[in-house]
Amino acid sequence: MTANRKGRIIVAANIERLASESADLFRRIAIESVTRSGRFSVALSGGSNPRPFHRLLADEPYRSGIPWAQTHIFWVDERLVPADDPASNFGTARNDFLARLPIQRSHVHPMCSDKPPPRAADDYQRTLGTHFGVDAAGAPVFDLVVLGIGIDGHTASIFPGDRTAVETDRWVVAVTGGSPNVARLTLTLPVLERARYVIFLVSGRQKAATVHTIITGDTSLPPRQIAPAGGMVTWLLDRDAAYLLPAGLDGVGPAIV
């Protein structure tokens, strides 16, 4: 963890504990952000790993304990498919929890999926500029970004070896790749690493070798490049995803919960 100076690793005993730890942290950061600035701006990922956590957000105590009226939900990335396609990150989140939340429709900011990718990227970039009150000279600062990782070491839709979302001044770019291998939008690395809090939420034994490589070794993979100067990176893992990690990583964990 030497690249991420302010980092920690939390290992949950099972998937249920991982979901509740994630929801607790989400609630803490939401309350702190609203106290600090009057609102909470979060960007969520798709994929399967965050789904139990997402579902929990619409259950008590999170449904009433999170300041939803002051919360704005964005996406880290999106597969450019219709919202009712099972591959849609927004559509999945809507079914999993958004539809059950007391949140205003205008506070939910899906990445548009019915325009050509470069225009959809421009649209989302404008959405971010308006929400954060910044122009091209500035950059959005999310309170929280929740990321996953792929077995190949990607995060968001930033794939190893593809510099499109890395060496750029843009906040949102169109890319192709991943599974499903479709056109996608993704927030860029410069935006992700400005977030005040970054959570990597990872479960499952099939990710253990990748988690080990990223955390202990390969600093070239996208997740390791997200090393916010002023923010905090938390790895929230279940035991299966963490089982290859050595004990005592630079004093940052793992803490077993």
- Kindly state whether residue 45 participates in binding ligand 6PG, applying the rule CB under 6 A: yes
Q: How far apart are the first and last CA of the chain?
A: 20
Per CB under 6 A, contacts with ligand 6PG among 8-27 are none
Residue pair 92/61 in contact (Cβ under 8 Å)? The answer is no
Q: Which is nearer to ligand 6PG, 63 or 95 (CB)?
A: 95
- Kindly state whether residue 71 participates in binding ligand 6PG, applying the rule CB under 6 A: no
Q: CA 18: distance to chain centroid?
A: 15
Integer-rounded Cα radius of gyration of the chain: 17
Identify the residue among 4, 22, 71, 89 touching ligand 6PG (CB under 6 A): 89
The verdict on whether omega for the bond into residue 50 sits within 30 degrees of 0, i.e. cis, is no
Identify the residue among 7, 91, 153, 178 touching ligand 6PG (CB under 6 A): 178
Q: Which is nearer to ligand 6PG, 150 or 254 (CB)?
A: 150
Only segment of 20-28, 43-51, 94-102, 124-132 that touches ligand 6PG (CB under 6 A): 43-51
For the CB of residue 233, give the shortest distance to ligand 6PG in the complex, in Å.
Answer: 15
- Kindly state whether residue 188 participates in binding ligand 6PG, applying the rule CB under 6 A: no
- Kindly state whether residue 110 participates in binding ligand 6PG, applying the rule CB under 6 A: no
Q: How many CB atoms lie within 10 A of CB 162?
A: 16
- Kindly state whether residue 155 participates in binding ligand 6PG, applying the rule CB under 6 A: yes
Identify the residue among 148, 153, 228, 253 touching ligand 6PG (CB under 6 A): 148
Longest Cα pair distance anywhere in the chain, in angstroms? 48
Rounded to whole angstroms, how far apart are CA atoms 11 and 17? Answer: 9
Only segment of 2-10, 41-49, 132-140, 213-221 that touches ligand 6PG (CB under 6 A): 41-49
Q: Residue 19 corresponds to which tokens in the numbers above?
A: 């979901």
CA distances from residue 32 to 125, 143, 222 in whole angstroms, order as listed:
26, 9, 28
Rounded to whole angstroms, how far apart are CA atoms 155 and 147? Answer: 7
- Kindly state whether residue 48 participates in binding ligand 6PG, applying the rule CB under 6 A: yes
